[in-house]
Structure 1
Amino acid sequence: MKCAEFQPATAVPDTKVGDVTSGTCSARARSAERHHQVALTRALRVRVRSNFCFPLPCIGLEDLAGRGHQISAPLGSSADRPSTGWRLIWGEPSGRCLGLMIPQHFEKCEIDRRGQRLIEEMARRRLDFILLMDPCNYYYVTGFPIGVLKGTFGALISADGNVFWIGRKTDMSNVKALIEADWSGDRHEIGAEIADDQDPYAAVGEAIATIAPHGTRIGFELAKAVIPPRGMTQIAAALPGREVVNAAGLIEPMRAVKSEAELTYMRRSGQIAAEATRAALDGLLPGASEADLAANLIGHAIRAGAEPFSLEPFVCSGPRSALAHSTWTMAPLQSGTIINTELAPPVARYSAPLFRVSVIGPPGDDICRLHDASRAGLLAGLESIGPGMTCHDADAVVRATIDRLGYAGMFPVRAAYGVGINFAPDWSEENVASIRPGNQTPLEPGMCFHLVPALYQPGVGCACCSMTICITSDGVETLTPFEPELVVLHP
């Protein structure tokens, strides 16, 4: 099916979409061999499962070829599909290519800045150590991009910046690859490898006890469900003579304002979300089901460069879409009913979500009115939200518009939630930033949100005309280049 022609809304700011590139900053190695290995890693930013990589110009392809490596164009390249990067066919003479398996998405200087901010905050809170078990937080601080979901895993960081990785033994292969690849490998070491026949939380406590001496003050992330109460009790029992404190909310404020490198990944994610949504809707065949649409959406996103999703896309149709966060079944898509698609394709574990509403054939008046109200709330936000406003006031801008149109009772959610880093089981940064009633946090340039004026009408469905935005010095930048219109599909 083909999408109807769009009339772009004039109130929507121009979307700025840039190539995924980054600057360079020097990285010193302790030996020529290590320098060679680090340079290769930084030049290629190899990412398994996708040909979309993040090159940094440390050394040229000719240098690589001259060192015994075979360089080829990325998988899927063709005359009509331009190359997005290069892949390396292993040929390291020394055999030390393990580090190339872990992508490093940020420059050493940026990771160092984050680490220094953490050290300063730890000093302010009088912490000698902090255990980070939320993948979003240890990725932000260390650059380690793997979310270990099975078993216990985390980074114990000391007040002088040393990182001790503690976790299930089988997952430590990832840490060893990180140590090989990292510019600061001398600051990383394995604190403990936990065997499957050990009690994981008792083992974590025992490992910390061997690193943190008596009299130290140790912080734990207790706000998120990364350690169950029973586990925390076991850990604390293994740490007599140490002070165990709640360090929740220490990292999250640091993540609120995105760097230019982070925004580059988010812009690419938004571009993939828009491209995948258009392609999936255009590719629908008569008689297609919700599952067919979901498969098309996911497939197009992956081929465009999306990493494994932290949360599957939401695809739903008809009145059932009024059941929040419903997703696909084998039900066929019906003409004249709402079709919802929402996805957040990760790029370097950053994402810019997109929610769009479509309909096969002419939409009914009830669908048009519901979508128009959602769209009006979105446009009001894009027009008025900017730096210096509080999150409460920004929410009020969207909410007042929807209320004026008579849909306040169908708008049960906050106007926007924070987005950025995502690992399973979620793609939001709700715990970092949220545009909601009562939140007096001021908006700053570089903060990113998914603006979601989601309206739920029983018997009709859900309409949400969304946009991922970044706060700028004079308003917002839109990160998902897809027109905020009801998509009418021609059978």
Structure 2
Amino acid sequence: MIKELHFEIAEFQARLTAVKKEMATRGIKILVLSEPPNQNYLTGYNAYSFYTPQMVIVSLDHDEPIWVGRLMDRVSAAMTTYLADQNIRAYPETHVHSSVLSAYAFMADIVKEVGGEKACIGVEMGGYYYSARAHEDLTRALPLAKFVDADLLVGWVRLIKSPTEIAIMRQAGQLADVAMQRVINMVEAGVRECDIAAAIYHQQVSGRPEFGGDYPSCPPDLCIGERSIAPHAAWTDEPLPISSVVNLELSGCRHRYQVNLSRPIVVGKPSTAFQKLSEIVVEGLNAGLESVRPGRTCSEVFSAFSQALARHRIEKESRIGYPTGIAFPPASGERTASIRKGDETVLQPGMVFHMIPGLWLDNIGITISQSFAVTDRGFEPLTMTARKLFVK
């Protein structure tokens, strides 16, 4: 059977060791992971199967994690993980979307098998894929266990990427660049918004001659015309007018690692105010980027950005950046650190952020962003599209 592993087994083992160390520090014996990015990080598992109950179980006393999912997807676990066959488990298809048979009760039996019947068990209470039903079924099946919230335990371990992860994210950045360039080339009056979206999806997947891309974790944000003041707008099937603003955020995804990119494109002549605002955003963005150094905090980077904007009497309250890496629907952000006031997370080499100091004012909006990796001396940009307003 073909194995689709993108990392050496030694790297997976190092990740597991780091997670187990944090588990031991918190007094957690069993960690039950529902989030697809965390499952992928520790095992390599990659299939669009997370709409049904699916878990990775980590035990301090077990050499490997145990993947548990529906029977139909067992073959994907065999293909995409490094796990031994006995650590790939599957519940019967009768448990899928059943109101009688619980897949989580099946998983609880495996937790008991690895010594978790009376153990302290960590679960991802804030995870997108850990439902109230999941928690109720697990706690009912394991009444003697102690359940604690271990949300983001793996997320904080994931925050620092390995050289191999950074190399993959460089490729993801190239995919984002070619998708953005395709849009810049095609945008003109009369082009339908939905055709722009279609071109983005095509380019994201077809990629470059050397390598293609994966599906992204979220759709592109096409904030056009009056919707340019909205951060996360969807497209319509309307044609672009003779004069219009297109605020676009898209991404490149390679082996599930995602890099985001945002640029404004103006059809026609931009107003003097919009041109000036784009220059202010770039000034603030560059100030934030130039402040990036190991040992500095996210809050200090935000301060550098804010000071640049303050010279123009503009203030931004929301965060201007978040970490990215492995991305599955519904989002690319890692939900750990944020580049904002008061976040004292210390920057370290290997961290990757999407810095997006978007300004959405009462009647005008603009987004120009930069994804970057923290290096020993500063930052490495992961996309090369010029940080500016594009005019067509």
Do both proteins adopt the same fold according to a TM-score greater than 0.5, normalized to the shorter chain? yes
Tell me, yes or no, if structure 1 residue 390 matches structure 2 residue 280: no
Structure 1 match to 2:49: 148
Structure 1 residues 124 and 187, CA gap change in structure 2 (3 angstroms):
farther
Structure 1 match to 2:390: 487
In the alignment, the residues of structure 1 paired with residue 63 and residue 118 of structure 2 have an alpha-carbon distance, to the nearest angstrom, of 19
Structure 1 match to 2:63: 161
Which of 73, 78, 93 is residue 171 of structure 1 equivalent to? 73
Tell me, yes or no, if structure 1 residue 123 matches structure 2 residue 51: no
- For residue 270 of structure 1, report the CA deviation from its aligned partner: 0.9
In the alignment, the residues of structure 1 paired with residue 170 and residue 23 of structure 2 have an alpha-carbon distance, to the nearest angstrom, of 32
Structure 2 match to 1:204: 107
Deviations 1:310-363 (A, max 9, x none): 101111211212122012111221233211221122101111110000111221
Range that drifts further, 220-229 or 377-386: 220-229
In the alignment, the residues of structure 1 paired with residue 247 and residue 86 of structure 2 have an alpha-carbon distance, to the nearest angstrom, of 47
In the alignment, the residues of structure 1 paired with residue 9 and residue 151 of structure 2 have an alpha-carbon distance, to the nearest angstrom, of 26
Deviations 1:433-476 (A, max 9, x none): 2111111111111111111110113333x211111011111111
Which of 215, 221, 235 is residue 124 of structure 2 equivalent to? 221
Tell me, yes or no, if structure 1 residue 190 matches structure 2 residue 56: no
RMSD: 2.0
- For residue 191 of structure 1, report the CA deviation from its aligned partner: 5.8
Which of 305, 308, 328 is residue 235 of structure 2 equivalent to? 328
Name which one, 1 or 2, has greater alpha-carbon Rg: 1
Structure 1 match to 2:136: 233
Q: Is the 8 A contact 1:416 1:449 kept in 2?
A: yes
Which of 234, 248, 260 is residue 353 of structure 1 equivalent to? 260
In the alignment, the residues of structure 2 paired with residue 285 and residue 319 of structure 1 have an alpha-carbon distance, to the nearest angstrom, of 17
Tell me, yes or no, if structure 1 residue 455 matches structure 2 residue 359: yes
Structure 1 match to 2:13: 112
Q: Is the 8 A contact 1:281 1:293 kept in 2?
A: no
Identity of aligned residues (%): 29
Structure 1 match to 2:213: 306
Deviations 1:18-60 (A, max 9, x none): xxxxxxxxxxxxxxxxxxxxxxxxxxxxxxxxxxxxxxxxxxx
Q: Is the 8 A contact 1:131 1:220 kept in 2?
A: yes
Gaps of 5+ in 2: none
Deviations 1:105-146 (A, max 9, x none): 111121111112222222323332211111111111112233
Structure 1 residues 332 and 406, CA gap change in structure 2 (3 angstroms):
farther
Q: Is the 8 A contact 1:163 1:188 kept in 2?
A: yes
TM-score between the two structures when normalised by the length of structure 2: 0.91
Q: Which amino acid aligns with 1:163?
A: P
- For residue 229 of structure 1, report the CA deviation from its aligned partner: 2.6
Q: Is the 8 A contact 1:351 1:427 kept in 2?
A: yes
Gaps of 5+ in 1: 1-96
Q: Is the 8 A contact 2:262 2:367 kept in 1?
A: yes
Tell me, yes or no, if structure 1 residue 373 matches structure 2 residue 276: no
Structure 1 match to 2:160: 257
Partner SS for 1:422:
strand
Tell me, yes or no, if structure 1 residue 470 matches structure 2 residue 377: no
Q: Is the 8 A contact 2:247 2:265 kept in 1?
A: yes
- For residue 291 of structure 1, report the CA deviation from its aligned partner: 1.2
- For residue 237 of structure 1, report the CA deviation from its aligned partner: 1.1
Alignment of 1:20-59 (within 5 A): none
- For residue 412 of structure 1, report the CA deviation from its aligned partner: 4.1
Which of 337, 341, 344 is residue 437 of structure 1 equivalent to? 341
Partner SS for 2:89:
strand
- For residue 378 of structure 1, report the CA deviation from its aligned partner: 0.8
In the alignment, the residues of structure 2 paired with residue 367 and residue 335 of structure 1 have an alpha-carbon distance, to the nearest angstrom, of 17
Partner SS for 1:353:
strand
Q: Which amino acid aligns with 2:325?
A: G
Deviations 1:136-178 (A, max 9, x none): 1111111223353311101112213332222223222322334
